[in-house]
Homo-oligomer: A and B are copies of this chain.
Amino acid sequence: MSHNTFGHLFRFTSWGESHGPAIGCVIDGCPPGYLLTEEIIQPYLDARKPGTSRHVTQRREEDRVKILSGVFENRTTGAPISLLIENTDARSKDYGEIADAYRPGHADYTYNAKYGFRDYRGGGRASARETAVRVAAGAVARQILGDEISIAGALVQIGDQPVARDDWSWDEVKRNALFCPSAKTLPQWEALLDQTRKAGSSLGALIEVVAHGVPVGWGAPVYGKLDADIAGAMMSIPAAKGVEIGAGFGAVRLTGEQNADEMRAGSDGPVFLSNNNGGVLGGISSGQDIIVRTAFKPTSSILTPRQSLNRKGEEVEVRTKGRHDPCVGVRAAPIAEAMLACVLADHKLRHRGQCG
């Protein structure tokens, strides 16, 4: 039982604060023999890293990952893999004035209440910086999943502006800093973000992640359900407030006939005529695409003053001046991809453990 460990057979334990010397994780349970180098992990960190466009925090972190153990001659050995990312651009002075005040919507108040005090610098342990570690672990998980399984995420809504789904292109996602799948939608979102940033405000966002190529049979009944683990994984991402699989909340409005994913015989096994279940039936993967959407609330750290309290319980106004993303969801796609990769790698090993 660990608060900072994710997964069971493929599992990683995360550590580090926003303004400490480094962050990192230890991956335990990785099978032996997989190719693994720092160069394999780095591109995923680069995709998440801050400072890449005007739409995200201007903190400049190289986010260079170092492999400290568990790899020999570029192959995983089966021993724990220790990954370390140094913090190089932490500016603690930015946070001096919020050492005592609670930022509304942030974990400041609850951390203090739970632990009696907190490392307030940059949010300490509650910083979204921790998500770099998830992305690094996800890169290792992808090695275990192999080339047959691809995992891709995109931003599908900012504020009240959904993406133009009829203009969807996975290639476009890679071309822009917003993980936007539509060249048509992109300029609208950029304008919206510019306007929001200038207003000292922030926006919520919706992320969709799809895993393609997952074989039928991963997951488990009852509490070890694949979708239950996915839901927990996504909701553990900072600022996440909702998760849905397949038709998700939309399934409430469907009839049983509409919702049933009918099956026909294909040349290469069953063919489903729809995918309202999002690739999971009874907690077990069906072989269809696994489709997950996660809702992110707007960034809590905003320039617009908000009413709050300080540690003494006195009423104060809080304005957060540090370097923050106007929309945390913008950088969430690589994180959500990574979490899905970790859940799948874990269930691959769990399935193999029980069913051979």
Contact = CB atoms under 8 A, between A and B. Distances in A.
Interface in A258-313: 258-265, 269-270, 273, 276-278, 281-287, 295-300, 302, 304, 306-309, 313
A40 interface: no
Interface stretch (A42-50, A55-63, A98-106, A170-178): A98-106
Given A300-B260, A302-B256, A115 B204 contact: no
A114 B351 contact: yes
A339 B109 CA distance: 26
A79 B31 CA distance: 26
Given A228-B236, A251-B204, A20 B281 contact: no
B32 A265 contact: no
B78 A115 contact: yes
A166 interface: no
A43 B260 CA distance: 34
A338 B253 CA distance: 25
B282 A107 contact: yes
B109 A68 contact: no
Contacts of A230: 235
Given A248-B241, A302-B256, A222 B77 contact: no
A67 to B, nearest CB: 9
A13 interface: yes
Q: Which of A31, A118, A283 has the most CB of B within 10 A?
A: A283
Nearest to A245: B241
Nearest to A306: B260
Contact of A9 (B109, B158, B296, B354): B354
B297 A259 contact: yes
A32 to B, nearest CB: 4
Q: Which of A14, A70, A256, A295 has the most CB of B within 10 A?
A: A256
B79 A203 contact: no
Contacts of A255: 159, 196, 201-203, 298
Contact of A79 (B15, B28, B242, B355): B15
Interface stretch (A124-132, A145-153, A182-190): A124-132
A68 B16 contact: yes
Given A2-B11, A13-B80, A109-B286, 17 more contacts: A1-B1, A5-B223, A6-B223, A29-B353, A77-B118, A79-B119, A105-B277, A109-B263, A110-B217, A110-B281, A110-B286, A114-B218, A241-B244, A243-B244, A260-B306, A270-B313, A353-B353
Nearest to A270: B309
A252 interface: yes
Contacts of A236: 222-223, 225, 228, 283
Interface string A319-356: 00000000001000000000000000000011111111
B281 A221 contact: no
Given A15-B69, A68-B24, A298 B114 contact: no
A114 B77 contact: no
B9 A15 contact: no
A4 B224 contact: yes
